[in-house]
A and B are shown apart, each in its own frame.
Chain A
């Protein structure tokens, strides 16, 4: 009973923290509720988020605001074509001591922050982009043969601009796979735009309040891992990912025609993790089929490699995910039939 009370308390904390964060971010950022939610899923699940949207939609602002709301060390890397990997990771520099002796000292790069904004990540060369790989996957960075662990929580938020393709380097699949979610930032509505104008063309606003401390964030991440997932739900996630392979028998026709490579094991893991964070933030101790379906698009959209036919037809990966969700039944056929009559 005490365990139940404890976990219920953590659920309650998560619920309230989520509400506070939303409220704090909302003071700065107008609209984009779904984007904020998805960024929070990534934070709670301990993953990284790739934000994609046109310039001026508040991607950077969102990340900066989030960093302000959390009592975490924030660092920003503006990716440019001439950015070097050592600019990201840091390097050993020769230092002359007061006694005249000289030695190498590690000069840590911006990657060593807790919330790292990789702004316009697709403007750097693949070599520089790959400097993020080890840190994102293993929460550690090797410099000069010495492995340096990142301080938890470590949360990378990358942004990219899909419009300006000149002088950009699309992220390789291996790099994309490291992002738990790919969040599409939509354009604001008219009302939101009006509010943005009202808020940003007047006197400047102050910084948002600190909402969560580092330990609280870690506790939330721990609670996320404790959320229960029933086997049928996990099986559903596995079936969903399996059906994204065009060679699979269960693959829907659109997948067969428009997809060259489907999602892998990391995609299935991401589905369940993201769904857990959704459940946690909604105050539930278990994951539902609906949670899986809800996180399917941000989790899978950057993990599906379209075929030539799919690209030529203009089939988006979001359409493919919709087809997958529609084609793969969540419950056994007999149960579904009995439940619907």
Chain B
């Protein structure tokens, strides 16, 4: 009887296990794991049978249970149970014991085994063929077709590009003369990163990694561009700025240096060198020397070195502008109307552009001279030299180099070779004014940033707006200085609004610099500077030529406000990107105890007072 009950339990477990196994097989069929289907069904059946056997073992009937079962089955009024327990001695039945045993035996004898034998089959066992059939069917049915591949996650697409224009400008930084070994190492790393990025793009790399690398490069370039006077040299820079601030004529130079705009600083030095008054030039040189000394005292050797370079630059430019003036004076009417205008401009404002123009006109004038005219010009120069020498005897304060330059010019003009050499020098001066090493580094770094922006555009990403790039746009404005919007950009540079207005100032300054005559349409010059693009805040944007409406901006723009999504920052980021770089703004790098850091920060001027109050102790 116990065996039958256990068999029943095993069969029940087997049936349930088969059903569960078939269900698992169905799941595997859905998951397209074809070969696992029969294994799952078999495992389910085996597991079910094992569980059934274990349950059967645990529920094994004791003797008492068997007796109770038999009593219930044959209606023996618990005679068998009593007899079993009496036989085991658990009941002191006394005289009744024998009678009970006898009655139990008789009851068992009288009962047919078919009455008390337990049924092995149960309704649960009907699942056995059902589960078996289901398992076999599911194991044999063909797998469903594979679903279409899900689209790749955003940013995981491989980006591949054979040539990425712009990256070579970053790679060129490796050749740039560095301020010190540390900067050399940093520049080399930047170039290496750009080269590696190019290689990866050639092989193909995930888009988001490429974008992240570009963003990191942008961060590093911006940090490098602003590296002069940072960290330990901060106090020295502050001291130098303080010295420069004592001289009203160097106010613009002080601001340019404070903004680490060394290109603007360089141009301001050129303007100072072009000044007519010798005293003003000497004052500027003294101020530079004092600033360099102050920086040196505070440990800012790089700042001091840069300032002394600028001082030397002033001396060179001074000599050159003097030569230009002498040559112009000797030419007289031969200079032409435009040349005379450029000379007047240079004398009045010291504008480097006027100087360049003057050099260009002088070179044109010399090129068109005949041999006779050249000799006449040389004679004039000699006479002028004699006159100067006579004046020098009368005035001992005159500078010796002035005469040296005049003498040199006269000697050059006396021979055709010298004349040719002079003409080439003038041609060179018309192209590129001399600049300091820091300015050259900054220019190269700005070029690298523009190259990075070009690369970003080439790869379909929106370049981060940076001062260097805006300068580039401004440059296009400057290229079109002959007319149109570019000329307005130039005016913006000169105008008070453009120069004072943060980004507009940068745009304006970019214009007209190293831009020898491109044909660009004229960029805006700055995001928010009305002077940069020559458009006032209330004026409407000009209609663009186009056959149809391509896009319609539904956003209400704040007139004169910053364009949404193009706010200027030191740390580049993309929507949804996690910050991974420390901010590089001037405010973030303010020295300990410094109280005027906010004046050099990116904070708009109108808010600087409020922000400054917030940081006051």
Query: Which residues of B sit under 8 angstroms from A230, Cβ to Cβ?
Result: 78, 81-82, 84-86, 91
Known: A4-B99, A335-B65. A232 touches B73 (CB 8 A): no
Q: Shortest Cβ distance from B592 into chain A, in angstroms?
A: 77
Q: Considering only CB atoms, which chain A residue lies closest to B103 in the complex?
A: A285
The yes or no answer to B280 lying at the interface (CB within 8 A) is no
Which residue among A4, A7, A228, A291 has the maximum number of chain B CB atoms within 10 Å of its CB?
A228
Interface residues in A276-298 (C-beta closer than 8 Å to B): 284-291
Across the interface, name the chain B residue whose C-beta is closest to A7.
Answer: B95
Contact between chains at A232 and B81 (CB < 8 Å): yes
Which residues on B sit within 8 Å (CB–CB) of A228?
Answer: 82, 86, 91, 93-94, 96-97, 100
Q: Tell me, yes or no, whether A331 is within 8 Å of chain B by CB.
A: yes
Interface string of B106-141 (1 = CB under 8 A from A): 000000000000110010000000000000000000
Q: Mark A191-232, 1 if CB is under 8 A from B, else 0.
A: 000000000000000000000000000000000001111111
Q: Does A311 contact B (CB under 8 A)?
A: no
Known: A226-B95, A286-B100, A331-B72. A338 touches B118 (CB 8 A): yes
A282 to chain B, nearest CB (A): 9
Name B99's closest neighbour in chain A (CB-CB).
A285
**Interface pairs (26), CB distance under 8 Å:** A1-B98, A3-B95, A3-B98, A4-B102, A7-B99, A11-B99, A226-B95, A228-B93, A228-B97, A229-B91, A230-B84, A232-B85, A233-B82, A284-B79, A285-B99, A286-B82, A286-B100, A287-B82, A288-B71, A288-B78, A288-B79, A291-B77, A334-B61, A334-B65, A335-B68, A335-B69
CB distance from A315 to the nearest CB of B (A): 31
- Chain B residues lying within 8 Å of A287, measured Cβ to Cβ, are 78, 82
Q: Please state if B81 and A284 are interface contacts (CB–CB under 8 Å).
A: no
B5 within 8 A of partner (CB): yes
State in angstroms the CA–CA spacing of A332 and B68 once bound together: 9
Kindly state the separation between the CA atoms of A231 and B118 in the bound complex, as whole angstroms.
Answer: 24
Within 255-288 of A, Cβ neighbours of B (below 8 Å) are at 284-288
Closest residue on chain A to residue B84 by CB atoms: A230
Residue interface mask B54-91, A partner, CB < 8 A = 1? 00000101001100110111000111011111100011
The list of the 10 closest CB pairs from A to B, nearest first, reads: A4-B98, A288-B77, A339-B72, A286-B82, A285-B99, A7-B95, A228-B93, A285-B96, A230-B82, A288-B78
Note all chain B residues with C-beta closer than 8 A to A334. Answer: 59, 61, 65
Contact of A233 among B65, B69, B81 (CB under 8 A): B81
Query: Are A338 and B5 interface neighbours, CB within 8 A?
Result: yes
Give the residue among A284, A286, A338 with the most B Cβ atoms within 10 A.
A286
Report whether A284 and B77 are in contact in the complex, using a CB–CB cutoff of 8 Å.
yes
CA distance A336 to B73 in the complex (A): 10
* Contact among A3, A335, A341 for B97, CB-based, below 8 A: A3
Judge whether A8 is part of the interface by a CB distance below 8 angstroms.
yes
User: Which of A284, A338, A341 lies in contact with B103, CB distance below 8 A?
Assistant: A284
- A11–B73 alpha-carbon span in the complex (Å): 25
Q: Which residues of B contact A7 (CB under 8 A)?
A: 95-96, 98-99
Decide if A6 is an interface residue (CB 8 Å cutoff): yes
Q: Tell me, in angstroms, the Cα distance from A289 to B59 when the chains sit together.
A: 23
A336 and B72 contact, CB distance less than 8 A: yes
> In the complex, how many angstroms separate the beta carbon of B487 from the nearest chain A beta carbon?
101
Contact status B96-A227, CB under 8 Å = yes
B561 → chain A closest CB, angstroms:
78
Tell me, rounded to whole Å, the shortest Cβ–Cβ distance linking B393 to chain A: 133
Residue on B nearest A234 in the bound complex, by CB: B91
- CB contacts under 8 Å to B, within A54-81, are none
**Bitwise interface map of B from 201 to 242 toward A, beta carbon under 8 Å scored 1, else 0:** 000000000000000000000000000000000000000000
Q: Give chain B nearest CB distance to A334 CB in angstroms.
A: 6
Residue of B59, B79, B90 touching A286 (CB-CB under 8 A): B79
- The answer to whether B93 touches A339 (Cβ under 8 A) is no
Q: Mark each residue of chain A from 306 to 341: 1 if its CB lies under 8 Å from any CB of chain B, else 0.
A: 000000000000000000000000011011101101
Given contacts A228-B94, A230-B78, A231-B64, 4 further A-B contacts (CB under 8 A): A4-B95, A230-B82, A230-B85, A285-B100
Measured between alpha carbons, how far is A3 from B101 in the docked complex, in Å?
A: 12
CB neighbours of B79 from chain A (8 A): 284, 286, 288
